Chains A and B, each alone.
Chain A
Amino acid sequence: MADRAPIDLTKLIIHAVALLLVLSYALPYLYLVSTALKPAVDVQQIPPSFLPQRLSLENFTSVIGTVGLPEAFLNSAIVAVLTTLLSLLIAVPAAYVSALYRRRLTMLFMLFALITRMVPAVSLGVPLFQIMKTLGLLDTTIGLVLAHTSTAVPLAMLLMAAFFEGVPKELEEAARVDGCTRFGAFWHIVLPVMPSGLAITALFSFIASWNEFLYALLLTSESSKTAPIVIAEFNSVYGLAWGPMTAAAVLYSLPVILVTLVLQKQIVGGLTFGAVKG
């Protein structure tokens, strides 16, 4: 008879607590998926049931045929990708300079970036609306991209600055000794060692744009309407179509989950970045 390994009680408790924590975060999403899989008539059962008594795809089939939803998904994807690229383009060099060349001006720059995160988005809605209207960018993809970028850049800067602070300045100096320009050192030497930071920053910028509601509501009407607006339209004054709404929300969450899974290695690396720094 083979010897059994002794049960490590401490490890068991830690795993159980971890599982509970994960479940507490995942529960609302699981409930969303479960609701989407219920037939329309069972969606708002009283008392509510977590698991569907009957599985049905009718919410998914009805939502796929919803006028405007596929276009809205495409708009969301275009806006989120462009916002991510533009945010990285602006924020990464800015964060690099701010982190590695600490001067009063760069400190002030970062402080302003932080302050913009403290201003409620709703208070910027009307000024943004007026700016976009003046520029003729209402209900355009580029208008919404610019609006989303204005909120994503400060976040991306703060995130990237934290990552750049972990890069030894000697790396750039060595590159410059070898003949690189300052930008060349940044581009060819520093950036390639930052895949985790870039992945996390890109992901957060993408999610910020992907899920954004208020600016999309104010700045778009028809042609560039994004999916969060169309999903919210299931909540009509004469009824909340829970089934189709949850089905649309499940479908809408899939790309973010997919991107997160693809970038999982970099994200985990980024989250532990600096954990062993002395």
Chain B
Amino acid sequence: MNKTLFGAVAALCLATSAAQAEAITVLVEGGGHSLQQAAADAFTKETGIEVNFVEVPYQGVFDKLTAEIASGTSNYDVATIDVVWNAAFASHVEDLSDLFTDAVKADIPPALLADATVGGKLIAMPAWANAEIVFYRKDLWEDPANQAAFKAQYGYDLAPPADWQQWRDMAKFFTKDGMFGTDVIGATSEEWMAEVLQAGSPGVILDDAGQVILDNQAHIDALVNYRAPLCEDKSAPDNALEINWGEAQNLFYQGQTAMMKFWAHAYKMTPEDSKIAGKVGVAPMIGGPAGIAGIPGPWYNVIPSTSEHKDAARQFIAFAIAHNGLGIEAPLGLAATNSAYASYTDKPGYEHFGPLLATLSAPATKGRPINEHYQELVDEAVMPAFQGALECQDNVAELLHDAAATARDILGQ
């Protein structure tokens, strides 16, 4: 009788415990929710574990997760975080190394694996990734008159730009009839950072050992090249410091620029009433002396160490990466694995996946430094020098030399 009662109580306890573990909560930024919903639905169908998403504004992910961690307990079992926060949260999240099987590792671009590694541990699983690629006006590039004129002027065929020189040539060529060839973004520095990698730098701002390399030759060459359309060629609007991603995108949509470098997801988002709807072509990011390179913009799933459903959270993350392609049908249409992108490259409407995959997988592509002072380095050291250079007056090497000194001060080097 006692044994039966004990067994019944034990079974009840187990059942209660199982019931409690049948739901996990995922903290996610607005746009990222839709990318993971399909995988979550499939996961629930397969395992019975419910997945609830808590959607917050971009900065809210950081603020809420910080508050949760500081409180010592967490409502969230998984948090989907921007790569720039990986270092900040590294000591407060679970080690996910066991989820990175050989098959998973082989299916993820090396730059994303590197960004997931902090202190020798794989603490974050890519959820989706983005990178800048080249957007150009197909109608202009395919126009026989333009093709003939370009060849006559520059001596080679007009095709999507593949390197620094072609980018400058084509930007100059299409600066006519009230249109600029391209834009120069001055409100953020990521686009220049991609050129730093294209120039052959072992990293942006810092090398792998964490030493400041902000004034190495690649940084200097890249900045000289980056500002050339603005300062030398006059093939970009002169208000570069006011131009951020949104403005660059709109200049292109309004037909005021012939080409831009932009995040790949935008290919599917050209407004139907835009002057350039149906006329957009895409190509991999341009290459420099070190070849094609971009700065990936990945988001990662992490498990806060305060999660109360870690096993279920692990199951979800493992399932999500194994079914990574399910998010592609969402409005942003992004994934993280090679196989997910490859499965769509031949489908109409997904022409940007080839260039995106080529950029993400390029040997020189590399993430931003995984350093908890990253934002401070950008705000205090990089941006003053970068924006100073875009005033077109000062010597780039001197500006970066001063910026490197500031960066060393921040890091106590």
Query: CB within 8 Å of B: which residues of A?
Result: 39-46, 125-126, 129-130, 133, 138, 214, 217-218, 221-222, 229, 232-240, 242
* Cβ–Cβ contact A46 & B251, under 8 A: yes
Question: Which listed residue (A46, A130, A236) contacts B250, Cβ 8 A?
Answer: A46
Q: Which of B66-74, B151-159, B190-198 contacts A (4 or more CB under 8 A)?
A: B66-74
Contact pick for B67, options A46, A129, A232, CB 8 Å: A129
Q: Report yes or no: A44 in contact with B250, Cβ–Cβ below 8 A.
A: yes
Q: Which residues in B have their C-beta under 8 angstroms from that of A42?
A: 254
Given A44-B250, A45-B250, A233-B55, do A130 and B71 touch, yes or no (CB 8 Å)?
yes
Q: Is the CB of A125 within 8 A of B67?
A: yes
Q: Which of A39, A44, A233, A239 contacts B57 (CB 8 A)?
A: A233
Bound CA–CA A113/B263 (angstroms):
49
Asked if B237 is an interface residue, CB under 8 A from chain A, the answer is: yes
**Tier of interface size on chain B:** 35 or more
A217 to B63, alpha carbons, bound, how many Å?
Answer: 8
- The interface bits of chain B over 20-41 (1 if a CB of A lies within 8 angstroms of the residue's CB, else 0) are 0000000001111000000000
Bound CA span A142–B22, Å: 28
The 8 Å CB contact of B256, one of A46, A126, A242, is A46
- Complex contacts, A214 vs chain B, CB 8 Å: 63
The reply to whether B57 and A221 form a contact with Cβ atoms under 8 Å apart is no
Q: State whether B251 touches A233 (Cβ < 8 A).
A: no
Task: Mark out the residues of chain B between 363 and 396 whose CB falls within 8 Å of any chain A CB in the assembled complex.
Answer: none
Q: Is B265 an interface residue (CB 8 A)?
A: yes
B60 interface residue (CB < 8 Å to A) = yes
Q: Does B64 have its Cβ within 8 Å of any Cβ on chain A?
A: yes
CB-defined contacts of A39 to chain B, threshold 8 Å: 273
Give Cα A124 to B239, complex, Å. Answer: 40
With A41-B274, A46-B237 already in contact, the answer to whether A217 and B58 are too (CB < 8 A) is no
CA gap between A7 and B58 in the complex, in Å:
56
- Which chain B positions have C-beta within 8 A of A44? 246-247, 249-250
Any chain A CB within 8 A of the CB of B89? no
Q: How far in angstroms is the closest Cβ of chain B from A86?
A: 24
CB of A133 within 8 A of CB of B263, answer no
Task: Specify the chain B residue showing the minimal Cβ separation from A233.
Answer: B30
User: Is B115 close to A, CB under 8 A?
Assistant: no
Besides A46-B251, A133-B73, 16 more A-B contacts (Cβ < 8 Å) are A39-B273, A41-B254, A44-B249, A45-B250, A46-B247, A133-B71, A217-B60, A218-B67, A222-B52, A229-B56, A229-B57, A232-B60, A235-B58, A237-B297, A238-B266, A239-B245
B254 pairs with A45, CB closer than 8 A: yes
Are A46 and B254 in touch, CB under 8 angstroms?
yes
Shortest distance between the CB of B250 and any CB in chain A (Å): 4
Whether A232 pairs with B57 at a CB distance below 8 angstroms is yes
